[in-house]
């Protein structure tokens, strides 16, 4: 089954404040012609630690056909050295997220 979601971020890079905190905004669209319940997960990449990342609000949402939902990923790397810490937001159908 193909992925029914398009995930777009408003910025390819975010800058953390002096306490190591930042937020990234994403627009997620159901690209199918039917309603789908979507499950969002945030994936740490490279040297980013999973515990630095969280999704604000509900991670599982109902999407009407063609509907868009906004998600915010919170980044909190207090005490981490300056650097690049990549991550991504994935959204899949909740009934079969693999």
User: For residues 2 and 54, what is the distance between their CA atoms, to the nearest angstrom?
Assistant: 26
Low-confidence ranges of the chain (pLDDT < 70): 1-2, 96-98
- Quote the pTM value: 0.90
- Identify the pLDDT of residue 12: 84
Three-state SS for 46-68 is CCCCHHHEEECCCCEEEECCCCE
């Amino acid at each position: 089954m193909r992925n029914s979601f398009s995930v777009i971020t408003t910025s390819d890079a975010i800058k953390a404040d002096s306490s190591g905190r930042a937020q990234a905004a994403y627009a997620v669209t159901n690209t199918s012609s039917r309603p789908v319940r979507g499950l969002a997960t945030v994936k740490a990449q490279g040297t980013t630690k999973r515990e630095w990342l969280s999704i604000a609000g509900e991670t599982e949402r109902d999407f009407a056909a063609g509907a868009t939902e906004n998600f915010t990923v919170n980044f909190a790397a207090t005490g981490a050295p300056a650097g690049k810490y990549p991550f991504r937001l994935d959204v899949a159908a909740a009934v079969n997220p693999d």
